[in-house]
Amino acid sequence: MKQGKIIIISGLSGSGKSTAIKALEDVGFFCVDNLPVVLLPKFLELRAGSNSEISRLALVMDIREKGFLSTYSDILDRLCKEGYRFEILFLEASEETLLRRYSQTRMQHPLAGGKSLLEAIRNEREQLKGLKRIADKVIDTSHYNVHELKAVILGHVLKVVHTGHVEVQVLSFGYKYGIPYDADLVIDVRFLPNPYFVPELGGLDGTAPGVQAFVKKWDETQIFLKKYLDLLDYLIPLYKKEGKSYLTVAVGCTGGRHRSIVVADEIFQHLKKKIDRINLVHRDIELS
């Protein structure tokens, strides 16, 4: 077994791969952007033959290289059989987000070639479906700024050396802003009474004690929490047994500011007593 995992960052153009590779470079990874995948075996051979002290390696490989899609699968399979271990991170974002980012940077999409920007984005997403399926971690960057994305990338990569554990993310969101791409389990809590329509609570969010008390006071909330937490207690060990390393539990309400935040926090508080690697994200708490 070759020592250490090699991080491969790929995904949609404009999804934040440059930010991700810079974050890893800042913490001591040897980073290469846009390495042709056909050169990867020779690159690793030279690295091993030179007694290199490079122990942490991160590579960006994507559709900018014309031969990438037709060759990456066979090359990675062969290298895995030789003992190399890879961690593939696939970054993506919503169409709206990608259109906005390209408008702001005025860069040209690598698949533009006479097509509209939207057509190029959809074409790339379709072509990369196979790679997304085999990725170890899919990260939707739509709602992250540069600093938040760096934190997410580093938080994941620096934990990836630990095996035999499930890393859980509990995520609240609003359905009006879309279901998170990277969610494994999605629960809709719009059936619970909504504090938004209570005058003194509507302007607050789910971290406020008054909103928490309102959402949790109902019998249906307590019955639901007991049943859903029991389900998670049953499922998570099974996911771990099957070798799943990452699990995102998403909780949604209409706007992602009240009920979903309260329920997500309850789930987080319950699971953190049993799981070492767990974090809580309120995706839409700052949105109106």
pLDDT > 80? residue 243: no
- Predicted confidence band at 27 (pLDDT cuts at 50, 70, 90)? confident
Residues 123 and 180 in one domain: no
Asked if residues 251 and 173 have their Cβ atoms less than 8 Å apart, the reply is yes
CATH of the domain at 116: 3.40.50.300
Among 108, 139, 157, residue at a domain's last position:
157
Residues 107 and 234 in one domain: no
Asked if residues 260 and 176 have their Cβ atoms less than 8 Å apart, the reply is no
Secondary structure percentages of the chain, helix, strand, coil, to 5: 45, 20, 40
Query: Between residues 228 and 243, which one has the greater pLDDT?
Result: 228
pLDDT > 90? residue 277: no
Predicted pLDDT of residue 162: 47
Domains contained in the chain, number: 2
| 167-174: strand order across its sheet | 185-188, 246-253, 167-174, 278-282
Among 157, 180, 200, residue at a domain's last position:
157
Residue 205 lies in a domain: yes
- The rounded distance, in Å, linking the Cα atoms of 242 and 150 is 29
Among 114, 137, 157, residue at a domain's last position:
157
Q: Which helix (H) or strand (E) covers residue 50, if one does? A: none
Residues 151 and 195 in one domain: no
- Predicted confidence band at 1 (pLDDT cuts at 50, 70, 90)? very low
CA-based nearest residue to 285, from 216, 224, 181, 204: 204
Asked if residues 155 and 279 have their Cβ atoms less than 8 Å apart, the reply is yes
Residues 25 and 94 in one domain: yes
Predicted pLDDT of residue 54: 62
Residues 96 and 196 in one domain: no
Asked if residues 182 and 138 have their Cβ atoms less than 8 Å apart, the reply is yes
pTM beyond 0.75: the answer is: no
Residues 195 and 63 in one domain: no
Range of the domain at 199: 167-282
Residues 13 and 83 in one domain: yes
- Predicted confidence band at 52 (pLDDT cuts at 50, 70, 90)? low
Residues 114 and 186 in one domain: no
Residue 288 lies in a domain: no
- The rounded distance, in Å, linking the Cα atoms of 142 and 11 is 13
Residues 211 and 190 in one domain: yes
Mean model confidence pLDDT for the chain: 88
Residues 176 and 147 in one domain: no
Residues 153 and 211 in one domain: no
Residue 162 lies in a domain: no
Predicted pLDDT of residue 2: 58
